[in-house]
Amino acid sequence: MSNIKLFESKKVRSQWNEGEQRWYFSIIDVVEILSEADNARRYWSDLKRKLKKEGFDELYEKIVQLRMEAKDGKLRETDAADATTLLRIIQSIPSPKAEPFKRWLAQVGNERLEEIENPELATQRIRETYKMKGYSDDWIEKRMRGIAVRDELTDEWKKRGVKEQKEYSILTAEISRSTFGMTPTEYKKFKELNRPTENLRDHMTDLELIFTMLGEASTTEIARNRDAQGFIENLTAAYEGGTVAGNARKELESKTGQKVVTKKNYKKLTEGEKRKQLKDKQ
């Protein structure tokens, strides 16, 4: 899911919180659009005091600090709020732009609710996004299958008492290390993906996606068959599941003489498809 939303061609940074199943939006971005103030940060500071006086006592409890990508490309902490809190803030901004913004925000929330109700709709939107970016149909099929395999794994972890966020990250890193010999963070550096918003899997080749799927699917099966419970037992399953994929990768490399892990990223993955589309049009 995108972490940038557009409103009247202007960007509003956002983050999806999987645990809470809700979006968080950058307040300063919204304030800047609606108030058209020369100094949006000062406007927001004054508005916070105004809301407090108006009786919105829980405002400071509702606001969270999230690291979002700034204009210079660096991650910086910024005030963020969920849709409910943001709408309350918008109500206090005297601007003719507020009403269309409310409708836009409701549309964003409605799209997510639709996707929860009908997962096929979410899948369709993801496919369309990748297609617009220039990925081939074959790559998209593998990417979509990989998403399904990943969802099955995380559902299994949830059932088995693994804590989300940090423990998920550790287990994922172990699968990757055992499969490819490097963690996702190391893998991103290897592919020269420097922007924090760049998704590693969106920069993988077909084979990299296949072995990623194999590692995660193997981990799911091992955890299931052993009835692994808690973090430690699932960490062992993650290591062994990744090792299954790692051994298969090494076997393929020995037969082909070619490395599976490559520095290819999105630009190189889509160049061939774009050339093909251009040729078809001629």
Q: Is the pLDDT of residue 98 over 90?
A: no
Top mean pLDDT of 158-167, 192-201, 225-234, 260-269 is at 225-234
Q: In 10 A of CB 162, how many CB atoms?
A: 22
Q: Which residues span the domain enclosing 225?
A: 119-281
Domain boundary among 96, 117, 138: 117
Q: Is the pLDDT of residue 277 over 80?
A: no
Domain boundary among 76, 99, 117: 117
pLDDT for 37 equals 83
pLDDT for 90 equals 86
Output the CA torsion sign for 24, 27, 28, 32.
Answer: positive
Same domain, yes or no: 8 and 124: no
Domain boundary among 86, 117, 148: 117
| Total count of domains within the chain | 2
pLDDT for 272 equals 63
Distance CA 66, CA 82 (A): 12
Distance CA 74, CA 64 (A): 19
Same domain, yes or no: 42 and 143: no
Distance CA 155, CA 178 (A): 21
Residues 6+ apart with CB under 8 A from 78: 13, 26, 27, 28, 65, 66, 67, 68, 70
Distance CA 269, CA 135 (A): 7
Query: What is the share, in percent, of the chain residues with pLDDT greater than 90?
Result: 48
Q: Is the pLDDT of residue 2 over 50?
A: no
pLDDT, mean of residues 105-111: 73
Residue among 271, 157, 256 at smallest CA distance from 205: 271
Residue among 13, 27, 19, 23 at smallest CA distance from 60: 27
Same domain, yes or no: 98 and 219: no
The 10s digit of each residue's pLDDT in 33-51 is 888 788 989 999 999 888 8
For tokens 């998209």, the residue is 140
Q: In 10 A of CB 173, how many CB atoms?
A: 18
Rounded mean pLDDT of the chain? 86
Q: Is the pLDDT of residue 126 over 80?
A: yes
Same domain, yes or no: 269 and 140: yes
